[in-house]
Amino acid sequence: MKISIITPTYNSRETIIRNISSVIIQSYNNFEHIIIDNKSNDDTILIAKQLYNEHGLIDRLKIISEKDKGIADAFNKGIKSASGDIIAILNSDDAYYNKQVFEKASNIFKDSKILFMHGDIYFNDPVYGSNIRKPLLCPITTAMPYNHPSMFLRKEVHERYGLYDLSYKYAMDYEFVIRLEKLFPGFREKGKYYSEWPIAIMYSGGASWNNELKSIEESKVALKKHGFWNSAARKNYLLRIIRFHLKRYLYKLNLSGVVKYWRNKKWRN
């Protein structure tokens, strides 16, 4: 069983080392790493090639370097070029938690009924506090039920239900899961939650984090598009807007510790 890891990059020299290092140390070695580079003008690609060459794994690296139409487009290019049975997306500023991630995934997918695996993430945020985040597993009208960096999907899921929608710049993962719930009502039951340790480390400061308000607005658009915009969705949308502005206001007042306390309580860390 082959695993394809897709990593979009653009001038990612500051983070690509930890990303690649977390892939090449994996104990399960039947994988390929597909880097979709948006014509970086730094040495992102050179670093990637050097790391894979140093570990004698250059045959596991596939690089596509061309202009794209956004993160969703990069995801799709990677999926289309993937030769693996299982697909996961690891953004350039994120990393896998330990060297057993692929091994655990391969064992889980031995069950042919499982379509996806997911788990916790360690969210690294020096501003508002770091913590382990479990998947919310909430109704789709509340928020994204899963931690996207932790998700591994059978390629057939994309073959059957499509790729990421290019019209979404920040909430493309949420839109995709909303679409799955609409087209495949029993999709959740086909997933396996791995809880022993976090699957991935997600670092704050990425595109969705820096464009949180835009991501919230795109989430609203996706819910409306797929017929999930109801009273519960409206309530949760307003709550997200309020939390966003409150968080920024507390930060300006040098009270980010309040946000840290609330996060630790929410995630029980």
- The neighbouring-strand residues paired with 61 are 33
Residue 261 is encoded by which pair of tokens? 């306390």
pLDDT of res. 207: 61
Q: How many CB atoms lie within 10 A of CB 165?
A: 16
216-249 per-position pLDDT tens digit: 999 999 999 999 999 999 999 999 999 889 888 8
What CATH code is assigned to 3-267? 3.90.550.10
Residues 6+ apart with CB under 8 A from 34: 4, 5, 6, 7, 62, 63, 64, 78, 81, 82
At residue 35, φ and ψ (nearest 5 deg) are: -100, 120
Residue 160 is encoded by which pair of tokens? 């059957």
Mean pLDDT estimate for the chain: 93
Q: 3-class DSSP state for residue 219? A: helix
DSSP result, 95-147: EESSTTHHHHHHHHTTSTT--EEEE-EEEE-TTT--EEE------TTTS-SS-
9-37 per-position pLDDT tens digit: 999 999 999 999 999 999 999 999 999 99
pLDDT of res. 184: 94
Distance of CA 210 to the CA centre of its chain: 15
Q: Report how far residue 48's alpha carbon sits from residue 249's, in angstroms, rounded to the nearest whole number.
A: 39
Per-residue pLDDT band for 128 (boundaries 50, 70, 90) equals confident
Q: Where are the domains of the chain?
A: 3-267
Per-residue pLDDT band for 42 (boundaries 50, 70, 90) equals very high
92 has pLDDT over 90: yes
Higher pLDDT, 263 or 121: 121
Out of 106-120, 122-136, 162-176, which region has the weakest mean confidence (pLDDT)?
122-136
Out of 85-94, 96-105, 207-216, which region has the weakest mean confidence (pLDDT)?
207-216
Residues 6+ apart with CB under 8 A from 218: 168, 169, 170, 171, 174, 175
Contact indicator for 215, 206 with CB cutoff of 8 Å: no
**pTM for this entry:** 0.93
